[in-house]
Structure 1
Amino acid sequence: MSDALAVVEQQFVAYNQHDLEKFAANFSESFTAWRMPATEPSMQGKQQLIDFYAQHRFNNPALRAELISRTVLGNKVFDLEKIHGLSEQPIDSVAVFEVNNGLIDRAWFYFA
């Protein structure tokens, strides 16, 4: 298993367990995320990630991600997911994770 695949799988499992400590351990201190088609980051820094998931995701017991498919291209992992628990119907999402030095450094999120 590639380093990129391993770290993305670890964060995916921790996400579904709502384990904030294990989840955050997979991200770099300089983590940056974009909610596309944004041109400015929606999240910058590991602490902002921790705060967001503590306050807006892992406090929701219905939250879970269903992995539909996963593709690895070098240090990038593309996950097609259905996100359950944020609305009445699951939300289709593509998450693109860039892994550097064994940690998720950047991510781009696309929602249908």
Structure 2
Amino acid sequence: MPTPFDPAAFAQRQLDAYNARDLDRFVAEYTEDVEVYVLTNPQPTIVGREALKRHYRDNRFNLPELHAQLVNRMVFGNKVIDHELVTGVPEAPVQVAAIYEVTEQGISKVWFVRG
């Protein structure tokens, strides 16, 4: 019997990998053609899993105190909205909303909003 599609599971697995700074496990939750946006910009800032991997390798997973605490999560169909408190980055603490669009193959789009 097939397991039901669970968008929140993708968001949780990538969050767990983020906090473990496990780059391969993190990017595995995203589709090959993932697009990442900052909500105020209509153009994606990152396109593709390899670009995502490079960005997080060079700008996040090299920070030893990096941690994202999940404050709240909402799920609307295939959209997952996480409110996170991120520490261990130069501008920390930072409140972030991440909106994930999830397909059965993984997270296909992400929009970030910083508080």
Q: Note the C-alpha offset of 1:2.
A: 5.0
Q: Percent identity?
A: 35
Name the residue aligned to 1:32. 35
Q: Please, what is the CA RMSD of the aligned residues?
A: 1.3
Select which of 70, 76, 100 maps to 1:67: 70
User: TM-score, structure 2 length as denominator?
Assistant: 0.93
Q: Which amino acid aligns with 1:33?
A: V
Runs of 4 or more consecutive aligned structure 1 residues displaced over 2 Å after TM superposition: none
Count of aligned pairs: 112
Residue type of the partner of 2:98?
A
Aligned to 1:9: 12
Q: Which residue of 1 aligns with 2:44?
A: 41
TM-score in terms of structure 1 length = 0.95
Cα distance in 2 between the residues matched to 1:25 and 1:88? 27
Q: Which runs of 5+ in 2 are unaligned?
A: none
SS at match of 1:79: strand
Q: Give the equivalent residue in structure 2 for 1:82.
A: 85
1:95 and 2:101 correspond: no
Structure 1: runs of 5 or more not aligned: none
